[in-house]
Amino acid sequence: MPHCRNCDAFVTDNYVRVFAPEGMSTVRVCPNCEDKLRDGAEVREARSTRQN
13: DSSP letter = H
Task: Tell me how far apart the alpha carbons of residues 48 and 6 are, in angstroms, rounded to a whole number.
Answer: 17
pLDDT digits (tens, 9 = 90+) for 37-48: 777 777 778 777
| E strand map for the chain | 36-39, 42-45
How much is the pLDDT for 49? 65
Over range 25-49, report the average pLDDT: 79
Query: For the chain, what's the residue count?
Result: 52
Over range 14-38, report the average pLDDT: 86
User: 52 pLDDT exceeds 60?
Assistant: no
